[in-house]
Structure 1
Amino acid sequence: MSADRDPGAVAGAGILDAGSESDAELAFEGALRPKSLGEFVGQTKVRGQLELLLQAAAMQGRSADHILLAGPPGLGKTTLAMIVAHENGRSLRMSSGPAIQHAGDLAALLSSLLPGEVLFIDEIHRMARSAEEMLYLAMEDFRIDIMVGKGAGATSIPLELAPFTLVGATTRSGLLPNPLRDRFGFTAHLEFYDDAELTEVLRRAARLLGMPIDEAALTEIAGRSRGTPRIANRLLRRVRDYALVNAKDADLTSVRAALDLYDVDPLGLDRLDRAVLRAIIDRFDGGPVGLNTLAVSVGEEAETIESVVEPFLVRIGLLSRTPRGRVATKAAWRQFGGRAPQPTLLDDEL
């Protein structure tokens, strides 16, 4: 249920509304997803590499090599997996690492694949180790071994699989074991988008949504989108809602008013970003401060701080990671109207 819904709503109505809201969200996301590499904006190098790989596979009449898509959330990994299936004229089967916690889960999934089908596993680094080891043989030889029985009487039964293409997505490629990483025929590293690319993403989304919006407004949204298309599309929807409710045009004034209402500042910092930086500066004198201590001080999970907040703050130069902990940079002090303390000499440096 959305955070802005009335918590006192009748339970039955809430279930219906939540379902409608979920369907609307899926329809919105689906309408904006490009269906081909030609429609996909940004990631020019990756698009060229994928196009060559898919064309070569089509000319040879075989399934494409297994593909690993690595990069931060929201850059288009799921969309590219859908495009791989579409460009090959194949169906797509989707799963996720956390859902595959036993070798049997993976065996059931692999044995049901049709010839040439594309299997997409999101967050593949979070699969169970036993499932990873089964995947090695499946990727190389399109075969898995099923163990029947236990102990000395256990028997291994080989099961042949239909040829398939595995597309794995991960936000933390360093957590993938080397044997699994090496079995991918192609690894794509997705990069953050620049403002010009995000403006093009937004222009396309606004056109698909039938939303009139001027160029200055698109540029403003792009500049606050943290280099991420998913965030850009989400902010565009908030601007559309603001303009609709207030009977205004989606111009620069409306964009700034809407994004200020949702606590997204001109740098793209949101409430949690500012809370983290404020905690480091105000409570810990600029740091260093440990991740767990920082998470407790802002009331968030350490994993959220590490995977969602820190990458952006480090990238724009407001936060530094050191062996002793997180440190606010001079730019962060200036951003919040303060002055960084002068470094002090340790006793052994005197």
Structure 2
Amino acid sequence: MADPRDAAEALDETELAIEGALRPSSLSEFVGQPKVRGQLQLLLQAARIQERSADHILLAGPPGLGKTTLAMIVAHESERPLRLSSGPAIQHAGDLAALLSSLTPGEVLFIDEIHRMARSAEEMLYLAMEDFRIDIMVGKGAGATSIPLELAPFTLVGATTRSGLLPNPLRDRFGFTGHLEYYGEDELEQVIARSAAVLGVRLPADALSEIARRSRGTPRIANRLLRRVRDYALVHGDADSASLSDVQAALELYDVDAIGLDRLDRAVLDALVRRFGGGPVGLSTLAVAVGEEAETVESVVEPYLVRIGFLGRTPRGRIAMPEAYAHLGVTRPDGGALFDDL
């Protein structure tokens, strides 16, 4: 009898392979971000012609827009190995020293959420990026000495969702900074169509548009919703195709409404409009009202609500905008017209 653990491992490997296939492997396959793609293409071609490591790259923008994928593409198109790490994992200068000293010549080092590195590690990174060396302190007190350690040339690709938190000396050492923007619905439809082909799911044009409309301008969310639609079609109908009604039923089941708001988004809006009269209300009070941490509300919920004009930030607190009342179908306290549910 076959071992169930072997079957589970095989399934996990299949899912990992699918996950990897959903990521484009070249700039020509990467959908959207035309300006950043063109700038990266030029930077990589120049480095290839001169047979050197590419300049250090900083990718800034909201989560889910493809920063990690672009780092993988940089390594692939440079024909160099890729090393993955993250800012929270580098909490001491020694952590960074061990990582940098193990790099091979030309290797691409990707540090996600680079703004969350420890300050001591950031200061060590300045010298490493500029001169490809670090200084190791040996001993303590008056007898301590600094030993320089030469590093192999490498390309650092840093990703950040909050570039304003990066100290200027670190930001200035990147040769190129790419700012990623939210995707339009047309671009998201291309992302979903490509992913659907990888997953083996046929989607009509109206189903593609429906998923794109609910994806909040973010490819990561689009791919996540697509997988839930695939699961729904597999259980309730045809595993190889999904109709518009399948998409609508699946996303309704997962509490994703017609414009991409989820349960927490609607809870925040509902609390702001119905319990606090539209505000202004403080962030911590609003977070307590919906049973979430203030940081979650601020970093996960607010950016999208602000971007679509449902929520405003003022010195006195958060306020609900007219569009939020319209979406909830609530009469504004100032006597505004009653809006229909969207």
* TM-score (structure 1 length as normaliser): 0.91
2:263 is the counterpart of 1:271: yes
Whether the aligned pair in 1 keeps the contact of 2:18 and 2:198 (CA below 8 Å) is no
2 CA distance for matches of 1:342 and 1:77? 43
2:333 is the counterpart of 1:341: yes
1 CA distance for matches of 2:175 and 2:84? 20
1:89 maps to which of 56, 75, 79 = 79
1 CA distance for matches of 2:265 and 2:14? 28
1:16 Cα deviation after fit: 9.0
Classify 1:155/1:30 alpha carbon distance in 2 versus 1 (closer, same or farther; 3 Å). Answer: same
Per-residue Cα deviation, 1:150-201 (whole angstroms, up to 9, x for no partner)? 1111100000000000000000101101110011000000000000000000
2:103 maps to which of 100, 113, 116 = 113
Q: Secondary structure at the match of 2:104?
A: coil
Which AA in structure 2 matches 1:27? A
Residue in structure 2 matched with residue 321 of structure 1 by the alignment? 313
Residue in structure 2 matched with residue 312 of structure 1 by the alignment? 304
1 CA distance for matches of 2:323 and 2:76? 45
Whether the aligned pair in 2 keeps the contact of 1:33 and 1:79 (CA below 8 Å) is yes
* Structure 1 residue ranges (4+ consecutive) displaced by more than 4 angstroms after TM superposition: 13-25
Percent of aligned pairs sharing the same letter:
76
Residue in structure 1 matched with residue 165 of structure 2 by the alignment? 175
Residue in structure 2 matched with residue 126 of structure 1 by the alignment? 116
Bigger drift between 284-293 and 56-65 goes to: 284-293
Which AA in structure 2 matches 1:154? A
- For residues 1-350 of structure 1, what are the structure 2 equivalents within 5 Å? 23=13, 25-248=15-238, 249-342=241-334
Which AA in structure 2 matches 1:55? Q
Whether the aligned pair in 2 keeps the contact of 1:281 and 1:333 (CA below 8 Å) is yes
Whether the aligned pair in 2 keeps the contact of 1:330 and 1:339 (CA below 8 Å) is no
2 CA distance for matches of 1:22 and 1:124? 29
Residue in structure 2 matched with residue 7 of structure 1 by the alignment? none
1:67 Cα deviation after fit: 0.2
Whether the aligned pair in 2 keeps the contact of 1:319 and 1:328 (CA below 8 Å) is yes
Which AA in structure 1 matches 2:235? V
Whether the aligned pair in 1 keeps the contact of 2:215 and 2:221 (CA below 8 Å) is yes
Q: Secondary structure at the match of 2:125?
A: helix
Q: Secondary structure at the match of 1:120?
A: strand
Classify 1:289/1:223 alpha carbon distance in 2 versus 1 (closer, same or farther; 3 Å). Answer: same
* TM-score (structure 2 length as normaliser): 0.93
Gaps of 5+ in 2: 336-342
Classify 1:306/1:14 alpha carbon distance in 2 versus 1 (closer, same or farther; 3 Å). Answer: farther
Q: Secondary structure at the match of 1:55?
A: helix
Per-residue Cα deviation, 1:191-229 (whole angstroms, up to 9, x for no partner)? 000000000001111111221111110111000000000
Bigger drift between 229-238 and 249-258 goes to: 249-258
Q: Secondary structure at the match of 1:69?
A: strand
Which AA in structure 1 matches 2:257? D
1:132 Cα deviation after fit: 0.2
Which AA in structure 1 matches 2:327? Q
Which AA in structure 2 matches 1:297? A
Q: CA RMSD in A?
A: 1.8
2 CA distance for matches of 1:323 and 1:23? 50
1:342 Cα deviation after fit: 2.2
Bigger drift between 157-166 and 298-307 goes to: 298-307
Whether the aligned pair in 2 keeps the contact of 1:143 and 1:160 (CA below 8 Å) is yes
1 CA distance for matches of 2:26 and 2:156? 18
1:41 Cα deviation after fit: 0.3
Gaps of 5+ in 1: 1-12, 344-350
Classify 1:316/1:25 alpha carbon distance in 2 versus 1 (closer, same or farther; 3 Å). Answer: farther
1:27 Cα deviation after fit: 3.0
1 CA distance for matches of 2:90 and 2:36? 28
